[in-house]
Each structure stands twice: as structure tokens, then as C-alpha cells.
Amino acid sequence: MRAVVCKQWGGPENLVIETVSDLLPGPNEVVIEVKAAGVNFPDVLIIQNKYQMKPTLPFTPGAELAGVIRAVGAEVRHLHVGDAVVAFTGLGAFAQQCLSKAEQVLPIPAGMDFHTAAAFTLAYGTSWHAVRDRAALQAGETLLVLGAAGGVGLAAVEIGKAIGATVIACASTAEKLQVCQAHGADHCINYETEDLRLRIKELTQGKGPDVIYDAVGGKFSEPCFRAIGWRGRYLVVGFASGEIPSLPLNLALLKGASIVGVFWGEFAKREPKNNAAGLTEMLQWIKQGKIKPLVSKTYTLDQTPEALRDMSERKVTGKIIITP
């Protein structure tokens, strides 16, 4: 089978495509024939050795996938060869086959295609954990999303609307904000051309948002935190800008606000039952039409470096997919 292999730390141009041996499952594992693999910003960081998880070279990147089980370990009882499944593996998805622990695999609901399934797990899992679990967003509250047109950001917009919140989407271009509006955002702010803090104040009648979802970091974090409402929850999701901000903690005191860390991968590992409950709730929302993952572009396995380059340069709207 063919796989993308990272043999040295660096940019996407260093990745190679190789033919390697077919995979065999351990007792509690399955081998999945990959039909679609989601691309995420951490994939870019991992191949540069800039992420929390630091794999040993060489390795195949790619954290999430959808496909069909081709082999099942001796102790696996609930999964079978031929099952259509989705899995979060952390590594290994950018290949024609991927090995996964059986506990990390979920069946794909009837009627859902592989592209949608592959676009779902990490982005929506992260945003459900952030918005629903960590922030406990309630109907009638206001959610502000930084980086709202990206994979996790757009998921947060949709989840906020599914809960019944008012959603303010912030992004860098008018085109990206149009996508946010199409996915339910009530208000939009172009943070490259508008005064972010002033516009937040205007749109919330001076109260400030109840929850701020920050997947961007950098220069936008402090003005947002300064605008947060009383007892607000500031979700630290990621740093797509490449800069980790320094927030003045006196603001948390003055606003009675909470700074809340969001690390979905660790949550999924430590609290698998709670994570599964979240994924189950969102699968129901998909059936009900409340959320719909946006796949904006697909790439072949040979185009994986291009896909990761587009992700690193923030050219991506919604999710992008690799089809091995």
C-alpha cells in the first residue's frame, strides 16, 4: 500500500510517498482501508516537531479518517470486516491503510458519505468539547468565534447555533465571512479591517460575549478578552496565527471571567465515554440538519504536501480532505 512518510522535520515539501507493507492488526486493533482523511492544522505542526505530541521519525501523519475495515484483531468483537467507520488515530491517516485501536473507531451512520465523516471527528469533537463541555454554552447566550471560517471555527459556529446561542463570527476576509453566514452566524466581524473590540461592544450592546472561542491567538486575543462579558468563559483552542498571546490576568479578575484550556485529543483519551456522547449528539444534529460539515476541497494522496501547505498558509475554508 502507499503512504505519506515524514522522515525529517520540516515543511510539507519534505514529505515523501512510499510503497510499504500492508498493515496487520494487533489483538485489540483494526486495519481500515482509508477512503478519506481529514487535514487539520496540527498535522502541519506535527511534521515540523512543533506540536505537543512528538512522534518518532519516520511516521505517517494524518489524525482522522473514514473508511472500511479490512482486518480485525482477535479480541475485537464489536467491529467486523466490511464495516464503514470513522476513526481518530492521531497519526497514520495519510495512507491507503491505517491501523487503529478498536476503541477509537465509530460506525458511520447510514446515509453519511466518507468525505463528511472524515471531516467530522477532530473539528467537531474539538468544538463540542470546547463549547458544550468546557464552556457549558447555554441557549440565549452569545458566542464569539475567532477564526470562524476554518475547520474548528466553522464547527463552533454551527454548534453554537444548534445549542440556541447568538453567534458572532470573526474572520479575515469578506469571502470567509460569507461562508460563516451561510452556516448560521448571526453577526460577522472582519478583524483585518474593523476595530475588533469596538465592534464586539456594538454587537453585544456593551455587555460582551458570554463565551469567546479562540483558535487564532496572536494580536486578536487581548482585545477580545478585554471585551468579554461578566462571568465570561475564554476558550483557548489553538494558535493558528503562530503566536501565543500574553493575556493580562487582572482582566479575568475584573470581569469574573474564566480562561479555559481546550485539548480535545487528551479529553478523548482520558474521557472516552464523554467524548463518545458528544460525537453521538452531533451525529444526531447532522441527521436533523442542524450541522453540516463543509468540505471545500479534496486532494489526492500525492497532493498531500499541497494540502498541508494550503492549511499552513490559511487558505482553507471549512475542511479539506485527502482521498488515497
User: What does pTM read for this prediction?
Assistant: 0.84
| Domain assignment of residue 16, yes or no | yes
Say yes or no: 260 and 311 in one domain.
Answer: no
Say yes or no: 30 and 44 in one domain.
Answer: yes
Say yes or no: 73 and 146 in one domain.
Answer: no
pLDDT of residue 295: 92
Q: Could you say which of 264, 283, 308 is where a domain stops?
A: 264
pLDDT winner (highest mean) among 84-88, 210-214, 275-279: 210-214
| Domain assignment of residue 256, yes or no | yes
| Domain assignment of residue 279, yes or no | no
- 64 touches 40 (CB < 8 A): yes
Q: Write the pLDDT tens digit of every residue in 237-296.
A: 988 877 889 888 999 999 999 999 999 988 988 998 898 889 888 888 888 888 888 899
- 309 touches 9 (CB < 8 A): no
Say yes or no: 254 and 312 in one domain.
Answer: no
Q: Which residue has the cell 453521538?
A: 280
Can the peptide bond before residue 42 be classed as cis, meaning omega within 30 degrees of 0?
A: no
Residue 200 has pLDDT above 90, yes or no: yes
Say yes or no: 176 and 255 in one domain.
Answer: yes
| Domain assignment of residue 136, yes or no | yes
Up-side HSE of residue 5: CA atoms within 13 Å toward CB? Answer: 11
Q: The domain containing residue 244 runs over which residues?
A: 123-264
Number of Cβ atoms within 10 Å of the Cβ of 293: 25
CA 110 to CA 116: how far, in whole Å? 12
Say yes or no: 145 and 113 in one domain.
Answer: no
CA 221 to CA 112: how far, in whole Å? 36
Task: List the CATH number of the domain containing 107.
Answer: 3.90.180.10
Say yes or no: 168 and 185 in one domain.
Answer: yes
Mean pLDDT across the stretch 205-230? Answer: 95
Say yes or no: 242 and 314 in one domain.
Answer: no
Say yes or no: 212 and 115 in one domain.
Answer: no
| Domain assignment of residue 272, yes or no | no
Higher pLDDT: 289 or 13? It is 13
| Domain assignment of residue 251, yes or no | yes
pLDDT of residue 272: 83
Cα 208 to chain centroid distance, Å, stands at 25
Domain count, the chain: 2
- 75 touches 109 (CB < 8 A): no
Q: Give the pLDDT band (50/70/90) at residue 109.
A: confident
Say yes or no: 72 and 13 in one domain.
Answer: yes
Say yes or no: 217 and 298 in one domain.
Answer: no
Residue 106 has pLDDT above 90, yes or no: no
| Domain assignment of residue 176, yes or no | yes
Q: Write the pLDDT tens digit of every residue in 135-150.
A: 999 999 999 999 999 8
| Domain assignment of residue 311, yes or no | yes
Non-local (6+) Cβ contacts of 59 within 8 A are 5, 6, 91, 92
Task: List the CATH number of the domain containing 129.
Answer: 3.40.50.720
Q: Which residue has the cell 512518510?
A: 5
pLDDT of residue 283: 82
Say yes or no: 202 and 236 in one domain.
Answer: yes
